[in-house]
Amino acid sequence: MPSTQLSVVVPCYNEEEVILACHEALIDALSDEVSAFEIVFVNDGSKDATLEILRGLHEVDKRVKVVDLSRNFGHQIAVSAGLAHADGAAVAIIDADLQDPPELLLKMLEIRDSGYDIVYGVRRARVGESWFKLLTAKWFYRILNRLSDTPIPLDSGDFRLLDRRAVDALLRMHEQHRLLRGMWSWIGFRQYALEYDRAPRAAGQTKYPLRKMLALALDGLLSFSVVPLRVVSALGVGTALLSSIGILYALVLRLFTRVWVPGWTLLFIGMMFLGGMQMLSIGIAGEYIGRIYTEVKQRPLYLVREVLSHAIRRDAARTKAGMTIHA
């Protein structure tokens, strides 16, 4: 059994304004209730003073572990790296911006001790977020669940607590394009939804602008659903059927009447429609093929430049090197 009761994974990308507040909030929430815990900060290629601040925290607090990635790999990969370097019997994931309340981790631990493997937060309210983000997030989950074979809990995020066996199960999944909240649903186990109100960011700017939100949505759709390919097939069948009807109509007019099929405009529209459908179909198929191409190269999920840790667990160097090279 791990000697560390709880590991808290905190992915960081240009979070110099909130790192100290995040560390203080976690310490205040956990110190009196959890006998042995660690905070695993993952520096995801930050360009500001985030790494320097994390180094300072590591020097003064033995519970702080720092995983410094070689470049920016993205939020989902940074969380995966943190999970791989977490030693706790339970592992929590929380963002550095303090939108998710650290004090809720104690409640999550209680629920986990009652027999659940995963406790995930469900956002009852999201203060300080624009109507556009709220609306797009709402429809994202509902559309994805309609298309996906793996149901994803509505209005949930990456804020959650996992038992060690759930973490180990997730670490066996090595796909490059990942939507972790979908992967957590896929592995199963006993899961509990804990509702809470999400606060505004403590400081700084969101690290998920519209471009990254769309990329994450695309990863989720293509990683957990083949419906787009089925839609392309259905459109192909429908287009072929319409074409057959049009050909039959033209032949009947030509053979049994003196009227030719009129209308260059209709012909032009038909050609543009078919051309557009072909390009759309090729694009959808290309997205899937591109992901296959990425996976077959079998590159590591991430590369670690440095790990700062006061405690070295048994076989830690071998385990971490293997994860870095083969993840």
**Tokens 């629920």 sit at which residue?**
111
pLDDT tens by residue, 218-265: 666 666 666 676 777 777 777 767 766 766 776 676 677 776 656 655
How many angstroms separate the CA atoms of 56 and 52, rounded? 6
Q: How confident is the model at residue 315 (pLDDT cuts 50, 70, 90)?
A: very low
Task: Return the percentage of the chain with pLDDT > 90, whole number.
Answer: 10
Please state whether beta strands 156-163 and 118-126 pair in parallel, antiparallel, or not at all (unpaired): antiparallel
How many angstroms separate the CA atoms of 222 and 294, rounded? 13
Identify the CA nearest to 53 among candidates 20, 100, 102, 91: 20
Identify the CA nearest to 123 among candidates 81, 153, 85, 167: 153
What pLDDT is stored for residue 31 in this prediction? 84
Q: How confident is the model at residue 10 (pLDDT cuts 50, 70, 90)?
A: very high
CB atoms within 10 A of CB 149: 9
What pLDDT is stored for residue 322 in this prediction? 42
Identify the CA nearest to 217 among candidates 228, 232, 206: 228
pLDDT tens by residue, 255-269: 777 766 566 556 656
**Mean pLDDT (whole number) for 18-30:** 89
Q: How confident is the model at residue 124 (pLDDT cuts 50, 70, 90)?
A: confident
Answer with the residue of higher pLDDT: 248 or 132: 248
What pLDDT is stored for residue 321 in this prediction? 39
pLDDT tens by residue, 60-94: 888 999 999 988 888 888 998 999 998 888 999 99
